[in-house]
Structure 1
């Protein structure tokens, strides 16, 4: 019978700088806790301190560092420059997985998270095996905190990268995440505790660390080539949909985009109450189906301090938003920080140049907002679409809004389909709404309504 291992425990660390108020600080720590739980870990405690900045070698003051070390079983002192000893569970994990990613050699300190917590102390008490910091840390800060706490230290960026790694399903997403993960790991790599002697055989004369870094560079080059090939296929698929009506659901992670996608399209997309449940862009047809068809895209969610390398890696995935005709910014209206979350989403899309795409604000999860809250939202955002993805009448109203948006851009025209090209009738019905049909000596005369670009393309096909 398989023995179930105890849930790994982690202590959260937050630094409140002068520009961060109490509400934002608490919200950020709460979100970090949800990220940690998404990894399957249990939050064992929180250490927070107000400081002028996050640039200190130890991040925390001596008193708070001692408080943190007491929770993790560390000494609270940086001590030796040697890496902290690994637990037996940690050593077994790294041995089974060939060290750092894909067997790149020596340990990196923060590159791979084990699903096994450290073993109990001699007195039987189990100490948290991880310290998770709500800021981006330098490699030296990570090393110093690990020596002082005796726990594995990971910053916010590392947590997000790890979640993306675990949730990627398609080949494109896996390639994108591995690239971002290696870029995160590379500057944090260091010699393993087993020693950093010279290599034998190929690469002789290199230290283990230098060899590991060269392997990372080679792997990144290989991944870029593979990703370019996959993205070329994606570009071709998007090009084929260029003249179709396209809506992209964008917004903060866990805002309810996938639930709304399922309600609008009747598809069985993954819906989970966790952060980053969706990493791969899904494209489905709006239901009940219209003529011309409307395609709806569910995109990867955003989050505060989304690592730049992840944004860059997912640029092709986010191209669905860039090439859409309409963006629906979906927010969780019941979250008191939703306006800050919306700004994060706008910033990411601005980074890829999608801020010029027409958009509408969708205040989702309104079933969780009381009457006073509804009135305040309506007064402040009168143009917003307020709904619950679980209310059929709300979803139907949103569908009507989407159709009305595209109707405003459509024009009527008359196309003549020659008798010799009757095989193109399906393309006509796919690209435009046929209002009437008649016949004369030249062929089938169709009165259609559609987007100007689609009608122009059809006209070229009919005369070619």
Structure 2
């Protein structure tokens, strides 16, 4: 019998810089989140360091003196990995690697590494590889040779295993190829989504770990992965939600947003995030039990703005009310977010009220009409079939009676064509 020994976790030190932009409590919460990210990536946090400085040091980010102190701490405590809560420039990475003689990761690199380990579909893997290569390209130095396959550990997944020592020209060629592949994937997604034009679509967005997948499962009786981990969901998933007899909408889940989300990642995940851009309704899920949920709301709103989706119909859904210790937050949310709803997706609290809100929106978006069309206007009848869901057809001596359901936008288009064809009179 062969005994399999567990691979020991890499020991990490986490470092954040406070420049006065955030309170000490907020920075500590950022460090706690970085610890969660580190744990998700498979490393163990041994120390957390908070350095106060008016602005980042151009050579060492935290200043040379503080960096030398940390170098001693690393040596004495067998630390293999140093993770910064902010992005480092190539010069800072090079200097810190030379001083620490350890792997250096910044927040973006860590998030990209987590995404690489969670990517399952061809689309997600392509998007991640593209984002990683764009991130690595300006950081290629000989100091990265420790990221070869023989070492393993976090910071080495995906293209990091094979591309670090690759010539920049080859990497640029690979980036170009990946972009072409993503264009093909995007065109395939457009073909799939074109069949959904007769349905109202809603997309779940929110800060990572806000409970989007749990809510998706609750609404649509699905069994999507819903873990208490950051970035449990990467690929968008769409399910049908029945609000009333004959009244259905399509609901999509998306990757969770997070503060300081790497720009390359947002750009690379454009095709996945198209479900946000194409949605009629944005369901913004917020963890009301998190002390800093207002900051999380801003992060999501800023990301929606980056996707040009900030003006869409949006419902703010405050989730995890069952985890709330300070009940005064309920009054705060009610007063400051009057159009919102407070729920527990886990326990099913207030889910029926959420469905009623969606049903009211559905009835605003979709209308039912009944019209009589002369038999000779066959092109008009064909057009109604294309632009609507025909519920019933009855044939009379001189006319065809059609009952149809369609979106308010398509109905206005149908009415315009009917007037042009003199089936209806101009009002």
**TM-score interval for Structure 1 and Structure 2 normalised by the shorter chain:** 0.7 to 0.9
Indicate the SS of the match to 1:354.
Answer: coil
Which residue in 1 is equivalent to 2:50? 48
Displacement of 1:5 in angstroms is 1.6
TM-score normalised by L of structure 2: 0.84
- Residues 287-308 of structure 1 deviation map (CA, whole Å, 9 limit, x = unaligned): 4675242000111111111111
Which residue in 2 is equivalent to 1:294? 249
Of 406, 411, 426 in structure 1, the residue corresponding to residue 362 of structure 2 is 406
- Residues 300-358 of structure 1 deviation map (CA, whole Å, 9 limit, x = unaligned): 11111111111111112111111111111111111111111111111111112111211
**Structure 1 residues 393 and 364, CA, compared in 2 at 3 Å: closer, same or farther?**
closer
**Structure 1 residues 449 and 72, CA, compared in 2 at 3 Å: closer, same or farther?**
same
Of 331, 334, 337 in structure 1, the residue corresponding to residue 292 of structure 2 is 337
- Residues 257-293 of structure 1 deviation map (CA, whole Å, 9 limit, x = unaligned): 1111111111121111111111111111014675242
Which residue in 2 is equivalent to 1:377? 333
Q: Which runs of 5+ in 1 are unaligned?
A: 75-125, 195-207
Of 138, 162, 171 in structure 2, the residue corresponding to residue 187 of structure 1 is 138
CA contact (8 A) 1:291 1:433 kept: no
- Residues 161-180 of structure 1 deviation map (CA, whole Å, 9 limit, x = unaligned): 11111111111111111100
CA contact (8 A) 1:291 1:432 kept: no
Indicate the SS of the match to 2:49.
Answer: strand
- Residues 414-434 of structure 1 deviation map (CA, whole Å, 9 limit, x = unaligned): 15698xx9xx99x97995584
Q: Distance in 1 between the 2:227 and 2:191 partners? A: 31
TM-score normalised by L of structure 1: 0.77
Confirm or deny that 1:276 pairs with 2:227: no
CA contact (8 A) 1:271 1:277 kept: yes
Of 301, 312, 325 in structure 2, the residue corresponding to residue 357 of structure 1 is 312
Q: Distance in 2 between the 1:300 and 1:131 partners? A: 26
**Structure 1 residues 437 and 366, CA, compared in 2 at 3 Å: closer, same or farther?**
farther
Which residue in 1 is equivalent to 2:23? 21
Indicate the SS of the match to 2:167.
Answer: helix
CA contact (8 A) 1:244 1:292 kept: no
CA contact (8 A) 2:216 2:253 kept: yes
Moved more, 384-393 or 248-257: 384-393
CA contact (8 A) 1:437 1:445 kept: yes
Which residue in 1 is equivalent to 2:34? 32
CA contact (8 A) 1:9 1:127 kept: yes
Q: Distance in 1 between the 2:249 and 2:127 partners? A: 28
**Structure 1 residues 136 and 368, CA, compared in 2 at 3 Å: closer, same or farther?**
same
CA contact (8 A) 2:317 2:343 kept: yes
Which residue in 1 is equivalent to 2:217? 262
Q: Distance in 2 between the 1:429 and 1:287 partners? A: 23
Of 116, 125, 131 in structure 2, the residue corresponding to residue 174 of structure 1 is 125
Q: Distance in 2 between the 1:56 and 1:66 partners? A: 16
Of 64, 69, 77 in structure 1, the residue corresponding to residue 66 of structure 2 is 64
Q: How many residues align?
A: 394
Which residue in 1 is equivalent to 2:95? 144
Q: Which runs of 5+ in 2 are unaligned?
A: 146-162, 422-427
Displacement of 1:379 in angstroms is 2.2
- Residues 131-170 of structure 1 deviation map (CA, whole Å, 9 limit, x = unaligned): 0000100112112222222221100010111111111111
CA contact (8 A) 1:292 1:450 kept: no
Which residue in 2 is equivalent to 1:235? 190
CA contact (8 A) 2:198 2:389 kept: no
Pairwise CA RMSD of aligned residues?
Answer: 3.0
Indicate the SS of the match to 1:293.
Answer: strand
Displacement of 1:372 in angstroms is 2.1
Indicate the SS of the match to 2:13.
Answer: strand
Indicate the SS of the match to 1:356.
Answer: coil
CA contact (8 A) 2:200 2:365 kept: no
